[in-house]
A and B are shown apart, each in its own frame.
Chain A
């Protein structure tokens, strides 16, 4: 039991330490600011958009935006960026809609997709990974073969194969991404469980009759969770990239609803003359993904004691 308390104290100490070290690192801090701003904006704007559709008071949906993202203005078709008004800073698209407003309006959906997919991947991955690591035997064998099978097809290809018969809409993309995204997490959790389960405090808990759910959650899940968080932070970016690639291929949301990946890819046909159409959405995706990658990357370094790398 002494052993257990010592480990727990050490873990808590480390957790404060991890974040403290992380926030002092310049590139991690940039990442935290970018990713944080993206998530907070998405939350606020997402709530407003939902309120707008529930109350039918559509003005709420673009209360915080420079202009109405659906307002077409044919005299302003493909207007270049200008500082004449806030809604014009990134120019307009082929319908004269403000690109900056549409981008800000689109962000909650990118955030929603990445949050749902990463969290479902963590839940499914934790369940399968911990069970197979803890139980072992034939169950482990089968779960791990399924995991390997999933890992040997690129996620993009498998998502296409699943979402086409689902009619390739927004829900289909979320379902398909969630079906294919968990295997990396299952491997992670299994490896962590194998490492942790032999430790004295887990053995002690098992002998002392701690209920299996507690062992599962408190001892195995919470002790595996740090490297997972680091990887998940990075993975948000991967989901956003895959999601925007799907939009490029015509899978996902359909035209009137703004979507970053779809805007970037529709704008491609207006390159190079009307460069702003594709450039600003693409660069926004890039910046958001860089933010998540920086956080994940540095977090992994902190955990592995490589912060001065």
Chain B
């Protein structure tokens, strides 16, 4: 591997780590501004309901809320790096175990959704650009405007209502049919569990249950990609190399979907991480509506039960996932386009 690329990757990795530390410090300081005294903070950690002084005191000593601020921050960072996100007051088990249970399910939903929305965005964007200002282009624009501008819960509920309840094509709620016994949880990912156990019925049921929520997430996030693809395609179609292709007698469609699209799609890699963020935010509402027990559903439950340890833990874990997604996108970009390595 060439040294430039190595240096680039190491630099991006260090940068990602620094961003993570900044996030932890910022989140910690924000909470301390909101709850300046140890008792106030302990009250937030304890969740809703009335708590005795003794209960609060035990929380204070458990999380060292009496220590000087800088010591608390260091302790907090250390704990997170060791995978200790506190003890969940509602489920009575360590937070990291809960998140470990819910995160894979969300990833299993969000990753296909992103791939689909990227594909959909690139295709519709290129299609719109190649029919610029015609009725097809207006159609593409109208579609992504409407999905972008609708309240996310509305998109999800309309899909659920029509496709699941009215037409009965796909299941409306859950991760897999409750009539089936789930295979042993080896991987954490329901789909992989089904495959590993060789349980075809369960695997198919999981896929069936995934389609609608994944489609909802994809619909909520594809507009950004359509918009970017469309405008960078139009830029590419104004370029000299594109006009040269046409003058050489290459068929217009071939020039558009071959040359122009290939060049226009490079910057889309950088959007992957952004789309990942959109998709995770979308998953909060979508999982709640489809009763899909992943991270998003877990966050909504935590809001209802004011389980702050859970909200804090999921926030940090989501930040880490997005930073990792960013890092992967950066590295991919560096591999595809050598120019960025020397920046």
- Chain B residues with CB under 8 Å of A268's CB are 153-154, 157
Q: Give me 21 A-to-B residue pairs in the complex whose CB atoms sit less than 8 angstroms apart, sorted by A's number.
A: A160-B299, A160-B303, A160-B311, A161-B30, A161-B312, A162-B34, A164-B311, A165-B308, A245-B152, A249-B288, A250-B304, A264-B151, A268-B153, A268-B154, A278-B154, A282-B150, A285-B151, A290-B145, A297-B227, A306-B234, A309-B231
B177-227: which residues lie under 8 A (CB-CB) from chain A? 227
Chain B residue at minimum C-beta to C-beta distance from A309? B234
| Cβ–Cβ contact A157 & B161, under 8 A | no
Q: How far is the CA of A23 from the CA of B284 in the complex (A)?
A: 38
A179 to B157, CA, bound (A): 30
* Contact digits for A238-249, partner B, Cβ 8 Å, 1 yes 0 no: 000100110011
**Residues in chain A near residue B241, CB distance under 8 A:** none
CB pair B151 A158 closer than 8 Å: no
Question: Chain B residues near A278 (CB, 8 Å)?
Answer: 154, 157
Size band of the B side of the interface?
A: 35 or more
**CB of A229 within 8 Å of the partner chain:** no
Binds B, one of A66-74, A124-132, A148-156: A148-156
Q: Which of A157, A261, A285 has the most CB of B within 10 A?
A: A157
B318 touches A157 (CB 8 A): yes
Contact A248 B303 (CB under 8 A): no
By a CB distance below 8 angstroms, the chain B residues around A265 are: 151, 153
A222 in contact (CB, < 8 A): no
Residue of A nearest to B152 (CB): A245
User: Given B18, B231, B281, which contacts A157 in the complex, CB threshold below 8 Å?
Assistant: B281
Cα of A154 to Cα of B152 in the assembled complex, Å: 14
Q: In the complex, given contacts A149-B22, A278-B157, what are 12 additional A-B residue pairs having Cβ atoms less than 8 angstroms apart? A: A152-B277, A153-B277, A153-B319, A157-B318, A158-B315, A160-B299, A161-B312, A250-B303, A264-B154, A272-B161, A286-B146, A289-B148
Task: Say yes or no: A155-B150 contact (C-beta < 8 A), given A148-B22, A160-B299.
Answer: no
Binding site for B on A (CB under 8 A): 145-146, 148-150, 152-158, 160-162, 164-166, 168, 179, 237, 241, 244-245, 248-251, 261, 264-265, 268, 271-272, 278, 282, 285-287, 289-290, 293-294, 297, 306, 308-309
Q: A309 vs B312: C-alpha distance in the bound complex, in angstroms?
A: 44
Q: Could you tell me if B308 and A164 are in contact, using CB atoms closer than 8 angstroms?
A: yes
Q: Which of A146, A245, A289, A306 lies in contact with B231, CB distance below 8 A?
A: A306
Question: Is residue B19 contacting chain A, with contact meaning CB distance below 8 A?
Answer: yes
Give per-residue flags for B116-157: 1 if the beta carbon is below 8 A from chain A beta carbons, else 0: 000000000000000011000000000001101111111001
A264 neighbours in B (Cβ, 8 Å): 151, 153-154
The docked-state distance in angstroms from the alpha carbon of A11 to that of B261 is 35
Q: State whether B284 touches A285 (Cβ < 8 A).
A: no
Q: How far does the alpha carbon of A245 sit from the alpha carbon of B153 in the complex, in Å?
A: 7
Contact with A along B281-301 (1 / 0, CB 8 A): 100110010000000000110
Please, how many angstroms separate the alpha-carbon atoms of A272 and B158 in the complex? 9
Query: Which residue of B has the minimal Cβ distance to A246?
Result: B303
Q: Digit string of B34-55 for contact with A (CB within 8 Å is 1, else 0)?
A: 1100000000100000000000
CB distance from A270 to the nearest CB of B (A): 11
Partner of B281, one of A145, A155, A297: A155
Q: A145-B18, A161-B27 are in contact. Are A156 and B151 (CB under 8 A)?
A: no
* 8 Å CB contact of A248 from B285, B311, B319: B285
Instruction: Give which listed residue, A153, A156, A250, contacts B23 with CB less than 8 A.
Output: A153
Nearest CB in chain B to that of A260: its residue:
B151
Indicate which residue in A146, A272, A286, A297 contacts B150 across the interface (CB closer than 8 Å).
Answer: A286
Contacts of A282 in B (CB 8 A): 150-151, 154
Residues in A neighbouring B146, C-beta threshold 8 A: 286, 290
List the 10 closest pairs (A to B, CB-CB), nearest first.
Answer: A289-B149, A154-B281, A149-B22, A282-B154, A156-B281, A149-B23, A290-B149, A161-B315, A248-B153, A165-B44
Q: Which residue of A lies closest to B325 (CB)?
A: A152
CA distance A152 to B145 in the complex (A): 25
Query: What residues on A are CB-neighbors of B34 within 8 Å?
Result: 162, 165-166
**A309-B132 CB under 8 A given contacts A153-B319, A157-B318, A286-B150:** yes
CB-based nearest B residue for A179: B30
Task: Name the B residues within 8 Å of A155 (CB-CB).
Answer: 281
Least distance between B121 CB and chain A CB atoms (Å): 16
Select which of A145, A157, A285 is within 8 A of B299 by beta carbon: A157
Nearest opposing residue in chain A for B323, CB measure = A152
Q: Contact between A149 and B149 (Cβ–Cβ < 8 Å)? A: no
Chain B residues near A308 (CB, 8 Å)?
133
Which residues of chain A are near B165, meaning CB under 8 Å? Answer: 272
Closest to A153 in B: B319
Binary interface encoding of chain B residues 268-288 relative to chain A, with 1 for a CB under 8 A from any of its CBs, else 0: 000000000110110011001
Q: Give bound CA distance, A309 to B141, whole Å.
A: 12
Interchain CB contact under 8 A, B303 and A251: yes
CB-based nearest B residue for A275: B161
Minimal beta-carbon separation of A142 from chain B (angstroms): 9
Is there contact, CB below 8 Å, between B151 and A248? yes
In the bound assembly, the distance between CA atoms of A308 and B238 in angstroms comes to: 12
Q: Produce 1/0 per residue, B308-321, CB < 8 A to A.
A: 10011011001100
How far does the alpha carbon of A158 sit from the alpha carbon of B31 in the complex, in Å?
11
Taking CB atoms, residues of chain A closer than 8 Å to B153 are 245, 248, 264-265, 268
- A287's closest neighbor in chain B, by CB? B149
Contact between A293 and B323 (Cβ–Cβ < 8 Å)?
no
